[in-house]
């Protein structure tokens, strides 16, 4: 029950035991094309989706490297560990980073993005996050995309923990680049970054001269049926199976399932008298403030040691203050009910003022509805 790496369905896990297929073989090319096509459905795009053998952060760095040059201005929506990661990557690559500092636990106000863009007309891109895993916030990506559309800047979105959980429509909303990773909503092991690129992004990157080699998008796009270098073959084979499961369920149903799981979790937490850290529902993860006097690590440790359920504490400056329950990917109502039931027992033994059953009952009522 962590927000990633997430549980892997047995059908996907078993693919890992199959022999490696050579990445220049016809057999693999067919699989690669199938995976690329099915990824487009998940990103809701007609644009190409690159498959890079790296993790989400590698995909983020590659995005900055390909869509901006050293010295250029980039605007970053920061309000958690992962929004801030865009800023850190930008600064380490000598971009001029303008931050929009959003209070942690809150979604960004799209008007602030419009204002920063108006003040920094030279900005080549705005980087944001669909679901900020560290705080459990879902940001309003659609309205921000619409307002950036009329500017010269590109909109680059980290959908690492959002893809396959939160509603995301790349083309419809006008997002220029979306970067995902294999180990979250896509129900695979870590090791792949998936990057969808709009036409505007593909045109822009042709004029960028900054240094790049392994992560050159132009190189990756030059052959749609293979990767320039040896890819993470095993995970691509697993991703093929995972995408089959996702498309069988259907994107609308996947989004709805996550919304219901998140709703039940939030409602259960509130009925236990605990405070939610985030002001928005986040389909991937729920962040909860630890009750006064109890460190979040005490809760996560007991959850694992006593009940075998892995939830996570906070990150960054709120490390000890919150714990997070992931409900992402291969996850259903039973998982939530068990997690809430175990959490109640853990909180009770830690002397938190809760009543056993209050959270479970609230979640049950949501699921019955």
Nearest to 92 by CA among 76, 112, 115, 114: 76
Q: Which stretch binds ligand PMP (CB under 6 A): 41-49, 50-58, 146-154, 202-210?
A: 50-58
When the beta carbons of 79 and 110 are compared against ligand PMP, the nearer one is 79
Tokens representing residue 8 in the block: 């892997």
Give CA–CA dist 204/67, Å, rounded.
7
**Which residues share a beta bridge with 131?**
138
When the beta carbons of 107 and 359 are compared against ligand PMP, the nearer one is 107
State the distance between the two ends of the chain, measured CA to CA, in whole angstroms.
Answer: 23
Closest separation between CB of residue 97 and ligand PMP, Å? 17
User: What residues contact residue 63 under an 8 Å CB cut-off, 6+ apart?
Assistant: 127, 156, 177, 179, 195
Which residue in the shown chain puts its C-beta closest to ligand PMP? 56
157 by Cβ neighbours in 10 Å (0-12 / 13-18 / 19+) ranks as buried
When the beta carbons of 41 and 57 are compared against ligand PMP, the nearer one is 57
Give CA–CA dist 83/335, Å, rounded.
29
If binding is defined by CB under 6 A, does position 138 make contact with ligand PMP? no
Closest separation between CB of residue 320 and ligand PMP, Å? 19
- How many contiguous H segments (helices) and E segments (strands) does the chain have? 14, 12
When the beta carbons of 330 and 367 are compared against ligand PMP, the nearer one is 330
Closest separation between CB of residue 63 and ligand PMP, Å? 11
The binder of ligand PMP chosen from 133, 166, 204, 280 (CB under 6 A):
133
If binding is defined by CB under 6 A, does position 273 make contact with ligand PMP? no
Number of chain positions touching ligand PMP (CB under 6 A): 12
Closest separation between CB of residue 137 and ligand PMP, Å? 10
Give CA–CA dist 40/22, Å, rounded.
24
Closest separation between CB of residue 179 and ligand PMP, Å? 8
> 364 preceded by cis ω (within 30°)?
no
When the beta carbons of 177 and 181 are compared against ligand PMP, the nearer one is 181
Closest separation between CB of residue 192 and ligand PMP, Å? 9
Q: What is the footprint of ligand PMP within residues 140-199 (CB under 6 A)?
A: 158, 160-161, 181, 190
Give CA–CA dist 157/135, Å, rounded.
17
The binder of ligand PMP chosen from 2, 38, 129, 286 (CB under 6 A):
129
When the beta carbons of 181 and 352 are compared against ligand PMP, the nearer one is 181
The binder of ligand PMP chosen from 38, 45, 56, 286 (CB under 6 A):
56
When the beta carbons of 55 and 270 are compared against ligand PMP, the nearer one is 55
Q: Are strands 154-158 and 125-129 parallel, antiparallel or unpaired?
A: parallel
The binder of ligand PMP chosen from 36, 41, 57, 320 (CB under 6 A):
57
Tokens representing residue 152 in the block: 């010269």
| Mask for 78-117, x = binds ligand PMP (CB under 6 A) | ----x-----------------------------------
226 by Cβ neighbours in 10 Å (0-12 / 13-18 / 19+) ranks as middle
Q: Describe the chain by its helix, strand, coil percentages, rounded to 5.
A: 45, 15, 40
Tokens representing residue 79 in the block: 């309000």
Give CA–CA dist 50/160, Å, rounded.
14
| Residue keyed to tokens 């996550």 | 258
Closest separation between CB of residue 209 and ligand PMP, Å? 26
Applying CB under 6 A, the residues found at the interface with ligand PMP are: 4, 55-57, 82, 129, 133, 158, 160-161, 181, 190
């Amino acid at each position: 029950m962590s927000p990633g790496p997430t549980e892997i369905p047995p059908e996907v896990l078993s693919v890992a035991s199959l022999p490696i297929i050579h990445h220049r073989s016809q057999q693999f090319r067919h699989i690669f094309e199938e995976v690329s096509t099915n990824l487009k459905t998940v990103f809701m795009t007609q644009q190409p989706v690159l498959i890079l053998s790296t993790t989400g952060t590698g995909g983020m760095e590659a995005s900055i490297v390909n869509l901006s040059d050293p010295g250029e201005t980039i605007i970053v929506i920061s309000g958690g560990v992962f929004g801030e990661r865009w800023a850190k990557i930008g600064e380490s690559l000598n971009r001029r980073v303008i931050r929009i500092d959003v209070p942690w636990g809150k979604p960004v106000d799209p008007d602030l993005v419009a204002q920063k863009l108006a003040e920094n007309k030279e900005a080549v891109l705005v980087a944001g996050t669909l679901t900020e895993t560290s705080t459990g916030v879902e940001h309003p990506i659609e309205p921000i995309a619409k307002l950036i559309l009329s500017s010269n800047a590109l909109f680059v979105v980290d959908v690492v923990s959002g893809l396959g959980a939160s509603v995301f429509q790349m083309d419809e909303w006008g997002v220029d680049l979306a970067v995902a990773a294999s180990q979250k909503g896509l129900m695979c092991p870590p090791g792949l970054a998936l990057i969808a690129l709009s036409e505007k992004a593909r045109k822009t990157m042709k004029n960028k001269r900054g240094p790049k080699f392994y992560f050159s998008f132009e190189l990756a796009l030059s052959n749609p049926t293979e990767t320039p270098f040896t890819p993470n073959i095993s995970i691509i084979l697993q991703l093929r199976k995972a995408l089959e499961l996702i498309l069988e369920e259907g994107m609308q149903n996947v989004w709805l399932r996550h919304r219901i799981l998140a709703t039940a979790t939030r409602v259960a937490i509130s009925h236990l008298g605990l405070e939610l850290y985030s002001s928005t529902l986040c389909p991937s993860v729920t962040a909860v403030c630890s009750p006064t006097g109890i460190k979040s690590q005490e809760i996560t440790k007991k959850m694992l040691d006593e009940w075998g359920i892995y939830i996570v504490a906070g990150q960054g400056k709120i490390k000890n203050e919150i714990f997070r329950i992931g409900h992402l990917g291969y996850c259903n109502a039973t998982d939530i009910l068990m997690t809430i039931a175990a959490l109640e027992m853990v909180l009770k033994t830690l002397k938190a003022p809760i009543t056993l059953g209050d959270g479970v009952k609230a979640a049950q009522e949501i699921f019955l509805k």
